[in-house]
Structure 1
Amino acid sequence: MSLEGGMKCVKFLLFFFNFIFWLCGLALIVVGVLAQVSLHQTIKMKDLSASGAPIVIIGVGVLIFFISFFGCCGAWKENYCMVTLFSILLSLVILVQIAAAIAGYVFRNKVSAMVHDSLSDMISLYGNSSAEFKSSVDALQEQLKCCGVNGSSDWGDFRPDGISVPDSCCLNVSLNCGVRAMADAAKVNQRGCGPVLEELLKKNILWVIVAALVLAFVEILGVVFACCLMRGIRSGYEVM
């Protein structure tokens, strides 16, 4: 009788964990989409690996979203095949997440070069680009309170006078506030966007790595519960 009660507890714990996995999968999809949109709206990444990270997050989210469905149905109906498939697929997802966390840790060392190259391209193309492109560069500088790649002097070719910067570099943005104000710290942000963006990306990557490892630990518990339920079903115990 105690075993019957234990199996019933495992069944509902597995169902509960799968509901949590389902929410986590949905959250990963949303985070991945927002990250991808943010990258394209604020900075035009030259390195394709930057866009690869949000795509991986979306992919893992979609997998968890559908795998949790198998787990919920298998646990509720006590279907041995569905619970087995769930445990196998979830184990594969855990391996992918651990690999992605390791890749993210290694990738963070490339952030500096990636940011520098991408921002340099943005500045060099600013004068001959579309209004939408200019708007994305301006939004980046306004939001991060920065100017240029390493500093305001990076905008030396912005105008013929060599000492003007885009208005988005100003502390208080207004029309023509950046004219002949490149070195004026009272009007223009002197800190470059490179160090600011690099710090922001490294911080976000670290949080993603931590979240992936925590989620992997929770998923391991889900696999353990699935294996316990599989054993109970296979042994012919009534778990309802």
Structure 2
Amino acid sequence: MLTFFAFVLAGLGTLGIGLWLRFDPAVSELMALRGDEENLNLICYLLIAAGAIMGFIGFLGCCGAWNQSQCMLITFFLVLIVVCCLEMACAIFAYTHQETIKKYIDNSMYDVVHVQYSRNDDYAQIFDRIQTEFQCCGVKSYRDWLHSSWGKEASSRAEIGIGTSAVGRVPSSCCNVEGLQSYPTTCGVTFDKLELHTYEEFLNINGCSDALYNSAYNNLQLVISLCVLICSCQILGMFLSVMLCCWVNTRKKAKNEAKA
């Protein structure tokens, strides 16, 4: 009974993962950068549904064990096999595609910096939140803004001996505490008179790609660990359901022989 109850808890844990991913700001903002909110919501709702189903199946296992019902125990065992295989497949896929996830993050962020930031206010707000929350700037560094359409919108002028390719502004969300507090004019958006590296002391110099990936990676590792833990509980549940089913069958045979 305790094992089947643990399976109910595992189902609730899966449901919790789905809810967590659905409302986690870092994951939501990452998907929003590529306009994949619908895909994210679909995955989260599938996890929520799977967790609810697992909890219900665990409840059936408890009832089967309590009532010594072979039918319920066999159903519990067969459904567990399917669910366990699906979870293992998801965990293996997530683990083996970590580099793909990193490339996805990089491509998404480059697209926002180079193109979408100047065209879409929603993307701009999302990226500003990322830069502020993670205290970062650009994809790999603040220099990425030199190649953005938004940075080129500024009426940059080259001083004597300064090339225009190194002149460009950055959003205010790139500024560090010193830049926000002590720079005499609006920090970031007014950096269009000198080479950008001149203002480095006022900027968060690290890019956002690694920061966002590390956040997603930590979440991914936790999800994988929880999947492995839940799957282990499920394998134990399958083993015990088979043992219990055999015990029920043996007991029924013994009763029939005693009556005969």
TM category (shorter chain) comes to 0.7 to 0.9
* Cα deviation, residue 117, structure 1: 0.9
Distance 1:205 1:53 in 2: 14
Answering whether residue 215 of structure 2 is matched by residue 226 of structure 1, we say no
Counterpart among 106, 120, 123 of residue 110 in structure 2? 120
* Cα deviation, residue 198, structure 1: 2.2
2:141–2:207 CA contact under 8 A, matched in 1: yes
- 5 Å-filtered alignment, 1:13-92, equals 13-35=2-24, 38-46=26-34, 51=40, 54=44, 57-58=47-48, 60-92=50-82
* Cα deviation, residue 166, structure 1: 0.8
* Change in CA separation of 1:29 and 1:74 when aligned onto 2, cut-off 3 Å: farther
One-letter amino acid matched to 1:44? A
* Cα deviation, residue 56, structure 1: 5.7
Match of 1:178 in 2: 188
Distance 1:93 1:62 in 2: 12
1:167–1:178 CA contact under 8 A, matched in 2: yes
* Cα deviation, residue 110, structure 1: 0.7
* Change in CA separation of 1:47 and 1:90 when aligned onto 2, cut-off 3 Å: farther
* Cα deviation, residue 91, structure 1: 1.6
What are structure 2's unaligned runs of at least 5 residues? Answer: 157-166, 255-260
One-letter amino acid matched to 1:171? N
One-letter amino acid matched to 2:29? Q
Deviates more, 1:72-81 or 1:116-125: 72-81
* Cα deviation, residue 24, structure 1: 1.9
1:44–1:122 CA contact under 8 A, matched in 2: no
What are structure 1's unaligned runs of at least 5 residues? Answer: 1-11
* Cα deviation, residue 45, structure 1: 4.7
Distance 1:111 1:101 in 2: 14
1:104–1:209 CA contact under 8 A, matched in 2: yes
* Change in CA separation of 1:99 and 1:110 when aligned onto 2, cut-off 3 Å: same
**1:178-231 superposed Cα distances (whole Å, 9 cap, x missing partner):** 134443232111111112222332333223222211221121111111112212
* Change in CA separation of 1:23 and 1:40 when aligned onto 2, cut-off 3 Å: closer
SS of 1:185's equivalent in the other structure is helix
Distance 2:30 2:104 in 1: 14
How large is the RMSD of aligned CA atoms in angstroms?
Answer: 2.8
One-letter amino acid matched to 2:63? C
User: TM-score when scaled to structure 1?
Assistant: 0.80
Deviates more, 1:229-238 or 1:113-122: 229-238
Distance 2:235 2:220 in 1: 23
Distance 2:93 2:35 in 1: 15
Match of 1:107 in 2: 97
One-letter amino acid matched to 1:179? V
Distance 2:55 2:5 in 1: 14
1:145–1:169 CA contact under 8 A, matched in 2: yes
Distance 2:200 2:31 in 1: 25
Answering whether residue 231 of structure 2 is matched by residue 216 of structure 1, we say yes
User: TM-score when scaled to structure 2?
Assistant: 0.74
SS of 1:176's equivalent in the other structure is coil
**1:110-167 superposed Cα distances (whole Å, 9 cap, x missing partner):** 122211110012122111213x332211111111111111111111242423421111
Structure having the higher Rg: 2
Size of the aligned set, in residue pairs, is 225
One-letter amino acid matched to 2:21? G
One-letter amino acid matched to 1:77? N
